[in-house]
Amino acid sequence: MNDPRPTGRIDKWLWQARFFKTRGLATRLVGDGHVRVNGARVVKPASAIGAGDVLTFVQGDRIRVIRVTALGIRRGPAPEAQTLYEDLTPPETEAAPVTRTGPRPTKKDRRALDDLRGEGGVHDPE
């Protein structure tokens, strides 16, 4: 006879894995429909997840893609929480640094630019 796969609540797991500071925040995110499990939108915080499920959700300004590797027993320290998942989020690409084409503009240069843009301030052009 097959034993059923062990599962747990999605809101509790997100909190235990330290993706959210409080369980209430995790519950609100799931309840608002901002979490997907294996591509399907979930709106119930009590939805069951288990090892092998892939979660997609927004955290801050990033979209996170996480594969559940284990269920948590408690909300432990960060190294313990990191053993609960595998991060599948693609790495962020950094913007190229802005390079200067010439020397830094002087105050006189900035005033001339302001005059060209029509952003004249309180200065006397000489």
Q: Supply the CATH number for residue 30's domain.
A: 3.10.290.10
pLDDT band at 90 (very low <50, low <70, confident <90, very high): confident
In a domain, 120, yes or no: no
**17: containing domain:** 8-87
In a domain, 63, yes or no: yes
In a domain, 95, yes or no: no
pLDDT in tens, 7-22: 999 999 999 999 999 9
In a domain, 46, yes or no: yes
In a domain, 104, yes or no: no
The residues pairing with 41 across neighbouring beta strands, listed in sequence order, are 36
In a domain, 109, yes or no: no
| Sign for the pseudo-dihedral over CA of 108, 112, 113, 115 | positive
Residue 70, number of CB atoms within 10 A of its CB: 14
Number of domains, the chain: 1
| Sign for the pseudo-dihedral over CA of 8, 9, 14, 17 | negative
Reduced to 3 states (helix: H, G, I; strand: E, B; else coil), residue 27 is helix
Query: pTM higher than 0.75, yes or no?
Result: no
pLDDT in tens, 43-61: 999 999 999 999 999 998 8
The residues pairing with 85 across neighbouring beta strands, listed in sequence order, are 68
pLDDT in tens, 31-47: 999 999 999 999 999 99
